[in-house]
Chain A
């Protein structure tokens, strides 16, 4: 449903651009264009046929088959190929950041909520609220200034050093070194979010009646935490993590822009600057799809963890 709306919005959006997509297509070339050439273009792109239903149906069926059209900027290249080519870099960045953020953020948040009002709680909550309100890309810029420019420890640009030979161990290490700062920027933003949610979830759980029961049963604090509080507190957190699978790709766009990371974000910026609408459309569809999938995953995960919503 949502995906269909994304596709339809896509279609409408990119038809309302004034003039003709064909003029955009040829516009980059500063040569005189004859009407015949334009007409030939229009035909080859199917723009001479009526908008509805032909173009809509064509568009939807093509989209279903993974045909997202052709890029304006990278002349003649298929949008789907462009996106697939860039996807691994983004997945590496976002995946690694997620893992780190889950490990640090969720644990810290749960602990802060468990020991609500303690010193660790105050420090953690303050820091994570600040991280939560900070745009991740700005964190990235700060990281570059500190660790790349001032200290010179880590590279702050691109994915590889020039002249690196693909496939070697050195190449991999070089890649990881380039990955470090972008991952840190994305992860820090996520940590802020996870701490806030995990803490809130845990402090709700702590006041539940079944925690009093657990205490009355004579369980130690550790047993109460692990056997009774943990799983209940994880319910909202797991949902958030699953939903984030869809959102972080979008969130990483700006971070990738800072580090010139050759992923989807980098592609987005290039497409934005060149007004390469088919590519932008494709990215929009990808983001929509990942969000829809993430929602499904969230529902499934919640069902697994919470017997109350299981059928």
Chain B
């Protein structure tokens, strides 16, 4: 696959991008995924203009657990807040957490993988041993024990970069525990790339190791990283939702997982308040399915193994 990405003429590159887009958008799954994703990104971008400010127990606008009606399209929750309002605000929080965690995980995974693959030897052995640990231990399990401890250390007050500390911690912990898969793929790609002539050429010209890694090897890894990035987002959403559901989220900045936790605690399920638990769940399902579909389509497009002609 890397043959097709090592192109230098601008026209060839444009053509490559065009044919990539055609093939990628040819996937029914990718189309559906992109449409859903854009929808949720719009929700996440402007929750205040769409449904007004986040409702709290104090400024709740309805009665407790009212089924969907004209006034409250998705009903209300156990303290009378409008579920639609909560879910739209939750989109912002869930997506931000997932995307930021993914960025961290991609940066860590790519750095570890590229370093291990490029330098080889002892660096490789130790970095991969570390990677193996994180590869084997699910992000959720690690986050489950790390998050409460870090929260204890930092305290729950104040906010960091506009996030409540618990959300910030969740972002960092998910990011730091879900990079192993990316690191493995990046390493194996780097191993084959560094043997190629253009790397030798750069070395002869006198480029430093860092420059070679960033300028010559990294661009060729981008397709792989993108395809896996989409899957990492789906995983991050899953972990975030699960952690929040177990009460590690922040009630003042509720993500979809936190909303589900609140619904669970209020006994929404046994009260038959399907709207209260259904709405956030459907959102989680849709968004993570979108990312899985997009990731699959990217993988399919970049993966030359699947050809129609034998």
B148 at the interface (CB under 8 A from A): yes
Residues on B with C-beta less than 8 A from A287 are: 141
Task: Find out whether the CB atom of B132 lies under 8 angstroms from the CB atom of A2.
Answer: yes
- Whether B137 contacts A2 by the Cβ 8 Å rule is yes
Return the chain A residue nearest B290 by Cβ. A133
The reply to whether B149 and A269 contact each other, CB–CB distance below 8 Å, is no
Chain A contacts for B245, CB-based, 8 A = 135, 137, 254, 257
Which secondary structure dominates where chain B touches chain A? helix
Report A132-171 CB contacts with B as 1/0, cut-off 8 Å: 1111011001101100111000001100000000000000
For A134, what are the chain B residues with a Cβ–Cβ distance below 8 Å? 281, 284-285, 288
A223-259 CB contacts (< 8 Å) to partner B: 247, 250-251, 253-254, 257-258
The answer for the CA separation of A137 and B264 in the assembled complex, in Å, is 10
Residue of A nearest to B133 (CB): A5
A90 proximal to B (CB < 8 A): no
B292 A129 Cβ-Cβ under 8 A? yes
Q: Mark A258-277, 1 if CB is under 8 A from B, else 0.
A: 10000000001100110101
Q: Is residue B246 contacting chain A, with contact meaning CB distance below 8 A? A: yes
Taking a contact as CB atoms under 8 Å apart, the answer to whether A17 and B248 are in contact is: no
Residues of B within 8 A of A144 (CB): 269-270
Q: Are B264 and A148 in contact (CB under 8 A)?
A: no
B3 interfacial by beta-carbon distance below 8 Å: no
Is there an interface contact between A135 and B241, defined as CB atoms closer than 8 Å?
yes
Task: Produce 1/0 per residue, B254-285, CB < 8 A to A.
Answer: 00000010011000111110100110010011
9 A-B pairs besides A135-B245, A250-B141, A272-B148 with CB distance below 8 A are: A14-B149, A132-B292, A134-B284, A141-B269, A145-B278, A254-B245, A268-B144, A272-B144, A288-B137
* A275 contacts B132, C-beta separation under 8 Å: no
**A14 to chain B: which residues have CB within 8 Å?**
149
Alpha-carbon separation in the docked complex, A253 to B129 (Å) = 28
User: For the complex, what is the distance from the CA of A216 to the CA of B90, rounded to whole Å?
Assistant: 57
Say yes or no: is A175 at the interface (Cβ < 8 Å to chain B). Answer: no
Bound complex: CA A134 to CA B280 (Å): 11
In the complex, what's the smallest C-beta–C-beta distance from A21 to chain B, in angstroms? 11
Residues on A with C-beta less than 8 A from B195 are none
User: Contact string, B136-149, partner A, CB cutoff 8 A, digits 1/0?
Assistant: 11101100111011
Check A138 against B149 for contact (C-beta < 8 Å): no
With CB as the reference atom, state the residue of chain A lying closest to B257. A135
Q: Which residues of chain A come closer than 8 Å to B145, judged between CB atoms?
A: 10, 13, 280-281, 283-284
9 smallest CB-CB distances across A and B, nearest first, come from A138-B281, A133-B289, A144-B269, A133-B288, A149-B272, A284-B145, A250-B141, A134-B285, A141-B269
In angstroms, how far is the closest chain B Cβ from the Cβ of A150? 6
Most buried by A among B129, B132, B137, B293: B137
Q: Which residues of B contact A273 (CB under 8 A)?
A: 247
What is A's interface to B at a CB cutoff of 8 Å?
1-2, 5-6, 10, 13-14, 16-18, 129-130, 132-135, 137-138, 141-142, 144-145, 148-150, 156-157, 247, 250-251, 253-254, 257-258, 268-269, 272-273, 275, 277, 280-281, 283-284, 287-288, 291-292, 295
Question: Which residue in chain A gives the minimum CB-CB distance to B155?
Answer: A18
Q: How far is the CB of B304 from chain A (nearest CB, A)?
A: 14
Q: What's the nearest-Cβ distance from chain B to residue A188, in Å?
A: 12
Residues of B within 8 A of A149 (CB): 269-272
CA of A132 to CA of B234, assembled, Å: 10
**Subset of 16 A-B contacts with CB under 8 Å:** A6-B137, A13-B149, A18-B153, A129-B293, A133-B234, A133-B288, A137-B245, A142-B278, A149-B270, A156-B270, A254-B245, A258-B264, A258-B269, A275-B148, A284-B141, A291-B141
Chain A contacts for B268, CB-based, 8 A: 141
In the complex formed, the residue of B with least CB distance to A13 is B149
The answer on a CB contact under 8 Å between B277 and A269 is no
A277 to B153, CA, bound (A): 13
Closest residue of chain B to A132, judged by CB? Answer: B292
Q: What chain A residues lie within 8 Å of B152 (beta carbons)?
A: 17-18, 275
Is B163 interfacial (CB 8 A cutoff)?
no
Residues on A with beta carbons closer than 8 Å to the beta carbon of B149: 13-14, 16-17, 277
> How far apart are the CA atoms of A138 and B242 in the complex, in Å?
10
Q: Which of B108-160 contact A (CB under 8 A)?
A: 129, 132-133, 136-138, 140-141, 144-146, 148-149, 152-153
B238 within 8 A of A: yes
* Chain A residues in 8 Å Cβ range of B270: 144, 148-149, 156-157
Residue numbers in B under 8 Å from A288 (CB-CB): 137, 141
In the bound complex, residues from chain B placing their C-beta under 8 Å from that of A272 are 144, 148, 246-248
A287 to B138, CA, bound (A): 10
CB atoms of A250 and B272 under 8 A apart: no
- B153 close to A250 (CB less than 8 A): no
CB distance from B259 to the nearest CB of A (A): 11
Cβ proximity bits B19-59 to A, threshold 8 Å, 1 near / 0 not: 00000000000000000000000000000000000000000
